[in-house]
Amino acid sequence: MNQVLLYCRPGFEKECAGEIQTKATDVEIYGFPRTKSNSGYVIFECYQPGDAEKLVKKLPFSSLIFARQMVLVAGQVTDMPVGDRISPLLAALAEYSGEFPRCGDIRVEMPDTNDGKELSKFCRKFTVPLRQALRKQGYLFTKDNAKKPVLHVFFTAPGECYVGYSSSDNNSDFFMGIPRLKFPADAPSRSTLKLEEAFHVFIPREEWDERLASGMWAVDLGACPGGWTYQLVQRSMFVHAIDNGQMADSLMETGQVKHHEVDGFKFEPPRKNVTWLVCDMVEKPARVAHLMGQWLVKGWAKETIFNLKLPMKGRYDEVLQDLENLKVFLIKNGLKFNLQAKHLYHDREEITVHIQVLNPVTPH
């Protein structure tokens, strides 16, 4: 096996390819990406046989910004006959029977494109007989097991797919790498789903009660009309909402929100009891990243989720530079932290960054 398949948002293949190329080189694995514009995926082909396995083991999935999923490819199957699409898939797997692990789950997926949408009904139906056949041949355990690898069949066209697997401890938990979230009817804006998705992606569910606890104070910079504040209020937090615009009345009526009509770059929390800082201001990404760094270094917040709006050109380089500057700034100031950045499903021309400070500073 010498290919790794990465799913991404259509239109971001170049960023996804640039990122895997750089990060593979960092771990001394060499190869080249194959991309097709707006296809919603990238294939990274390693020069050395066996290197793809090494790559998916060495590279933490959480370190990838633009990839929604990372799959080790066993083979590509083309010209699948309409009457029997299962046999060629089994034949492709048989070639790697010694190396292919028994999996705990199967996902029959497609790119997140308009063409992909047309395949979704077929993929759903196909999953049932394929699961049975794979169980019979021993490629799948007889019962679903979330701790075992996941078998992926990724259809790129009717009768054409990649087959491979991902490790349950180094992949996205979600079908197609996309958490399915329902828009809450009473939320003031669709952006609310960005922050909810960020919670799902960055914070383990079992830690929500502690890290997103009721009664905490949060600051929301660029809050209007209140989609992000809504998420915090839903979790029974108190929020300083900073924006010159209009906040949704429904949020103000909860009594949990203080609206400050001031510049987010000048606001200082009145009491230093803030746990969460979130920021969705439409501003230069370098400026936002620096502001977030200042808040953490001053001890004004312990954890932050913020968006970096991407420029038209050089999107990957801008992200790399801004994150690198921010890390250097935090390290220079003695902070220990976890930082993760992701191009979320609900992000368009932006990425979302999460930082958790591990050695909180006394506010000053």
Instruction: Give the catalytic positions in this structure.
Output: 309
350 counts as binding ligand SAM under rule CB under 6 A:
no
Smallest distance from the beta carbon of 250 to ligand SAM, in angstroms? Answer: 12
Distances (CA, A) of 108 to 117, 128, 163, 280: 13, 10, 9, 34
Residue 45 near residue 21, CB atoms below 8 Å: no
What is the DSSP annotation of 85-150? SHHHHHHHHHTTTTTSPPBSEEEEE--SSHHHHHHHHHHHHHHHHHHHHHHHTTSB-SS--TTS-E
Q: What span, in angstroms and rounded, lies between the C-alpha atoms of 70 and 164?
A: 10
Smallest distance from the beta carbon of 220 to ligand SAM, in angstroms? Answer: 7
Residue 300 near residue 269, CB atoms below 8 Å: yes
The correct pick among 113, 189, 254, 325 for binding ligand SAM (CB under 6 A) is 189
Smallest distance from the beta carbon of 22 to ligand SAM, in angstroms? Answer: 29
Per-residue binding letters, 96-115, with ligand SAM (x by CB under 6 A): --------------------
Residue 185 near residue 234, CB atoms below 8 Å: no
Q: Which residue is nearest to ligand SAM (CB)?
A: 227
Structure token digits, residue 226: 């209140």
Distances (CA, A) of 360 to 219, 297, 335, 355: 17, 9, 8, 12
Q: Of 90-98, 189-197, 232-240, 334-342, which segment contacts ligand SAM by CB under 6 A?
A: 189-197
Q: What span, in angstroms and rounded, lies between the C-alpha atoms of 292 and 55?
A: 32
Phi-psi label, residue 61: left if phi above 0, alpha if psi -120 to 50, beta otherwise: alpha
For ligand SAM, give the closer residue by CB, 6 or 193: 193
The correct pick among 264, 269, 285, 293 for binding ligand SAM (CB under 6 A) is 264
The correct pick among 282, 359, 362, 364 for binding ligand SAM (CB under 6 A) is 282
**Residue 337, strand partner residues:** 357
For ligand SAM, give the closer residue by CB, 4 or 221: 221
The correct pick among 96, 174, 265, 337 for binding ligand SAM (CB under 6 A) is 265
Binding-site residue total for ligand SAM (CB under 6 A)? Answer: 23
Residue 151: helix, strand or coil by DSSP? strand
Contact set for ligand SAM, span 200-259 (CB under 6 A): 221-228, 242-245
For ligand SAM, give the closer residue by CB, 177 or 227: 227
The correct pick among 53, 115, 160, 283 for binding ligand SAM (CB under 6 A) is 283
263 counts as binding ligand SAM under rule CB under 6 A:
yes
191 counts as binding ligand SAM under rule CB under 6 A:
yes
**Residue 70, strand partner residues:** 6
Contact set for ligand SAM, span 165-184 (CB under 6 A): none
Q: What span, in angstroms and rounded, lies between the C-alpha atoms of 64 and 69?
A: 9
Smallest distance from the beta carbon of 237 to ligand SAM, in angstroms? Answer: 15
Instruction: Tell me which residues touch ligand SAM (CB under 6 A).
Output: 188-189, 191-192, 221-228, 242-245, 263-265, 280-283
